[in-house]
Amino acid sequence: MSDHDDPAMLSAGRNASLGGLLERIEEQFNAETQGRPDLLVDEISRRELIRDVTDYVTTAGGIKLSREDRLAVLEMVYRDLFTLSALEPLVNDPEVTEIKLKGHDQIYVRRGAGDLLGDSLTFDNAAHLERLIERLLVGVGTSLDQSLPFCEIGLRVADRPARLTLTGAPISVMLHVDLRLHPPQALSLSDLLPTGMLDAAATDTLTGIIRAGHGLMLAGEVGSGKTTLIQALLPLMPAPTICVERAHEITLPDGVQGLAVIPPTSERPPVEFPDQISAALQRPIRGLAVDEIRSDESAAMWSAITSDLKPQLLFAFRGSTEPLRLRTSFSMAVRKAQQGIEQEYIHSGLIDRLPFVVMLQRVRSPQPGVKVVRIGEWQIDGESLVLREMYPTRQVSPQHPF
């Protein structure tokens, strides 16, 4: 059993695959330790219990292991239950911000805001990766199977907030994993200054916009820093504010409550992203942050913009940082939800509820990173809207209090 390939046949009174044996040991271990964290206080205790459980399962199953095989099984069970295997050194590296896996043997890593680069680390086999993913999913109350082949959840990995996106069969012949990692402690606006994401002028401008009670739209492509900036701006939002997320990956400050997508199980249907926006609007809130709105969720977006509650809005959009394209994309999204709506009414929604825009991009120089490249205000120009650039010189005017 030196190469640990699955299925591997173990010497026994009956044939048994390595994957099946590991699964039975881990199930038995979880059953015996459920609700008993006192049994797992340190590594010695954990390894002793794994040895006892392994002896029980192999004896009950009539499986005979050589000393070498038994030691290998014990180590694999420990690794599966208490480490992240090939991912362990990566998630503990504070420079790593994203990990992508295409199957068990193709791992790509992003450090900071750099490019995704291939890594030499791999899992033993597909079953090994699947056991790790299943353990992570069980920890947050869901699972991945052919009836639910796509999953997007928030969790903590190595004490870091993270977003885990999975695609499996039948959508993909191999398991695709995307793990986006955040710092253990939430970053403030001042924390972002040394990173080059923004400077003092941009910080003052954004602070003035939020504190004056204005709505703010964050626009940028995937990985441009929208979630990071929302995290830093949330403490400035009025209480109570609700933050709606794809997954619980934002550390919420006092006065901010969180709602996220709830994956389906065999017992319950999913609670989708638009559902949570609607749920937020049923509460007496003064602020609503949303990370991030996509074009097929325009009905919920427009409901928030036109809500009688008139909460202060902090919305992230995935899309272009070119003003005309951004405005056009926004108008097209609204028309999906409200066919026949007048363009003047769409412009009014932006002017009244999301008058300010911050645009973010990934940049390569002077060093790779994400950066606030423009801050502007929508203004009427004849029958159209234009974005008047205001960063970094123009001051923000106060808005009437709520």
Pair of tokens at residue 74: 């014990």
How is domain 189-389 classified at the CATH fold level? Rossmann fold (3.40.50)
Predicted local confidence at residue 209, as pLDDT = 96
Burial class (CB in 10 A: 0-12, 13-18, 19+), 6: middle
Predicted local confidence at residue 81, as pLDDT = 83
Whole-angstrom distance, CA of residue 233 vs CA of residue 203? 10
Predicted local confidence at residue 4, as pLDDT = 42
Predicted local confidence at residue 1, as pLDDT = 39
Predicted local confidence at residue 112, as pLDDT = 83
Predicted local confidence at residue 207, as pLDDT = 96
Predicted local confidence at residue 146, as pLDDT = 60
In Å, what is the CA distance from 391 to each residue of 70, 219, 232, 360? 65, 15, 18, 13
Predicted local confidence at residue 173, as pLDDT = 83
One-character DSSP codes across 9-52: BPPBSS--BHHHHHHHHHHHHHHHHTT-GGGGSSHHHHHHHHHH
Predicted local confidence at residue 377, as pLDDT = 95
Per the CB < 8 A criterion, the answer to whether 204 and 394 are in contact is: no
Max alpha carbon distance in the chain (Å)?
85
Predicted local confidence at residue 400, as pLDDT = 35
Architecture of domain 86-181 in CATH? 2-Layer Sandwich (3.30)
One-character DSSP codes across 83-113: --GGGHHHHT-TTEEEEEEESSS-EEEEETT
- H or E element: which one contains 249? none
Predicted local confidence at residue 235, as pLDDT = 96
DSSP-derived letter for residue 63 is B
- H or E element: which one contains 314? strand 312-318
Cα-to-chain-centroid distance, residue 377: 29
Predicted local confidence at residue 177, as pLDDT = 94
Whole-angstrom distance, CA of residue 357 vs CA of residue 360? 10
In Å, what is the CA distance from 185 to each residue of 37, 46, 94, 176? 26, 29, 11, 28
Predicted local confidence at residue 137, as pLDDT = 80
One-character DSSP codes across 216-238: EEEEE-TTSSHHHHHHHHGGGSP
Whole-angstrom distance, CA of residue 221 vs CA of residue 362? 8
What is the three-state SS of 347-362?
Answer: HHHHHHHCCEEEEEEE
Q: Which residues of the chain have pLDDT under 50?
A: 1-9, 11-15, 394-402
